[in-house]
Amino acid sequence: MAHLAIESVSLRYDDGPQVLGGVSLDLRDGEFLVVVGRSGCGKTSLLNLAAGFVPPTTGRVAVNGVAITGPGADRAVVFQDDALFPWLSTAENVALGPRLSGIGKAERRRIAENQLAIVGLEGLADRPIWRLSGGQRQRVGLARALAARPTFLLMDEPLGALDAMTREAMQELLVEVWAKSGAGVLLITHGVEEALFLATRIVVMAPNPGRIVKTLNVDFSRRRLAGESARSIKSSRDFVAMREALLDAIFEREAA
């Protein structure tokens, strides 16, 4: 069983204030871990550490017990502002991971079309990405990450820039994709409902320095997979109760 471990990590950029102080967090494959917290609590820094974009100041990040030294194809990343490559077509964007690892053209095409179908973008393979809508681009970013067949999928507020309707549709897609891929997902968000709907486990962070203040196990995404509708889940009594509990956890520290 694959295992991404963030072990007693602290982070400080140059002479700036401490961004993260003593954070420990485990992510296993098949798990959907959501990190919530207010702006400036170090959520994105935590993801950058897990991805290997920045090294921890103290502590370590390890995959299956081996410390990471940088980014790797086992940990795919989906960015808030999609970070697609406009000089490549939609299909070429999706198949960039396979291309970098030396997979042939025909096979890349097959992979791209396959992944585009999974995220609901059949037939858009040859479209330039600057002709896609924001929601479509975010789906391409997701397909690109999945095409690398990652063990872990790291997502930094992937739905943050989308309108409310698109976001709801994307949330359902994320649940499906997560279940299908079997990857361990780490998703950063400031949306409380989003966190509850997607996660199997929620971690609440607080700032100054960034640290984990609460962990919650939830199972609404499994209810969605079992066939219950998103509306029914989000209006259910236990969902609403959990939402209030989660909001309390996020804002408690500020009141004190």
Partner 1 sequence: MSLDLAEAVLAPDEPTDHRPSRKRGAVPVRLISFATLAVLLAAWQVSASLALVPSLFLPAPAAVFGQFVAVARDGFVDATLAQHLAASLGRVFAALTAAIVVGVPIGFAIGASPVGRGIFDPLIEILRPIPPLAYLPLVIIWFGIGEPSKILIIAIAMLAPIVIATASGVRAVATDRLNAARALGATRRQLVRHVVLPSALPSVLTGVRIALGTGWSTLVAAELVAASRGLGFMIQSAAQFLVTDVVVMGILVIAAVAFALEALIRLVERWLVPWAGKA
- Residues at the site binding partner 1, with contacts judged by CB under 8 A: 51-53, 70-73, 75-77, 79, 81, 83-87, 96-97, 100-101, 128-130, 144-145, 148, 154
What minimum distance in Å lies between the beta carbon of 106 and partner 1?
20
What minimum distance in Å lies between the beta carbon of 114 and partner 1?
17
Cβ neighbours of residue 72 under 8 Å, at least 6 residues apart?
52, 63
Toward partner 1, which CB reaches closer, 129 or 202?
129
What minimum distance in Å lies between the beta carbon of 198 and partner 1?
21
What minimum distance in Å lies between the beta carbon of 117 and partner 1?
20
Toward partner 1, which CB reaches closer, 87 or 165?
87
Bridge partners for 206 per DSSP: 211
Toward partner 1, which CB reaches closer, 71 or 160?
71
What minimum distance in Å lies between the beta carbon of 85 and partner 1?
7
How far from the centroid of its chain's Cα atoms is residue 127's Cα?
A: 25
Q: Tokens in use for 130? A: 């600057």
Toward partner 1, which CB reaches closer, 130 or 227?
130
What minimum distance in Å lies between the beta carbon of 98 and partner 1?
9
d(CA 11, CA 237): 39
d(CA 9, CA 20): 7
d(CA 32, CA 210): 21
Toward partner 1, which CB reaches closer, 65 or 87?
87
Let me know: does 185 contact 33? Beta carbons within 8 Å.
Answer: yes
Toward partner 1, which CB reaches closer, 33 or 94?
94
Report how far apart, in Å, the C-alpha atoms of 251 and of each of 22, 43, 76, 191, 255 are: 21, 16, 31, 13, 7
d(CA 215, CA 60): 21
